[in-house]
Chains A and B, each alone.
Chain A
Amino acid sequence: QKEVEQDPGPLSVPEGAIVSLNCTYSNSAFQYFMWYRQYSRKGPELLMYTYSSGNKEDGRFTAQVDKSSKYISLFIRDSQPSDSATYLCAIFRVEYGNKLVFGAGTILRVKS
């Protein structure tokens, strides 16, 4: 079983839709929960991160963590064609050394 599971998509939505991207993880030692955006042929860009269960909002983006279910989500409101990218969840593991473990990424396409 992979430590972090993420549906690879692709996920295709019309402009203006609400997008939901999700990951599950297996290790309760994970403490920080990150979302990265990666455009084609670019490096991952840190969008936002959170530490505790609950919601964190930043503009059109909301990160949600449910530690009891080991489930994290990223919601994008009013999606734009410029949001088309691969979204990577990454979880920071403290046990057995500080390490960032990535999901495989979900490809998102927002159609205008």
Chain B
Amino acid sequence: EAGVAQSPRYKIIEKRQSVAFWCNPISGHATLYWYQQILGQGPKLLIQFQNNGVVDDSQLPKDRFSAERLKGVDSTLKIQPAKLEDSAVYLCASSPLDRSYEQYFGPGTRLTVT
């Protein structure tokens, strides 16, 4: 079974630029998550989708971050404009609909904002 795919793996941008990350979850997983992991910390949930609807985006900085999940499969996370403090690893995870506690992570995208 293929795991969660993410791209790009690395991205370096200047502050105030925009950036987008892509995620393809495990086949059949209805729930998709985006997490932010700052160096030395555990992942923090940004947004959770169930199929193509948003379940929880309470921790998403909506003035600069946006996310969508087209057709309930792939998802993109966008930052516009980026700030220095957005430097982090952005992780995508997915889980089966009936086992949200069982989350499987992709390799992440390491973002550096200069």
Contacts and interface: CB of A to CB of B under 8 A. Distances in A.
A34 B55 CA distance: 22
A104 B101 contact: no
Contacts of A46: 102-105
Interface string A78-112: 00000000001010100001111011110000000
A61 interface: no
Interface residues of B, number: 21
B44 A92 contact: no
A44 B43 contact: yes
A4 B110 CA distance: 25
Main secondary structure of the interface of A (DSSP, over half): strand
B56 A45 contact: no
Contacts of B108: 42-43
A6 to B, nearest CB: 8
Nearest to A44: B105
Interface of B: 4, 6, 40-45, 55-56, 91, 100-108, 110
30 contacts: A4-B42, A6-B42, A8-B40, A31-B101, A32-B101, A42-B107, A42-B108, A43-B4, A43-B91, A43-B106, A44-B43, A46-B102, A46-B103, A46-B104, A49-B101, A49-B102, A90-B42, A92-B100, A98-B100, A98-B101, A99-B45, A99-B56, A100-B45, A100-B100, A102-B42, A103-B42, A104-B40, A104-B41, A104-B42, A105-B41
Interface of A: 4, 6, 8, 31-32, 34, 36, 41-46, 49, 88, 90, 92, 97-100, 102-105
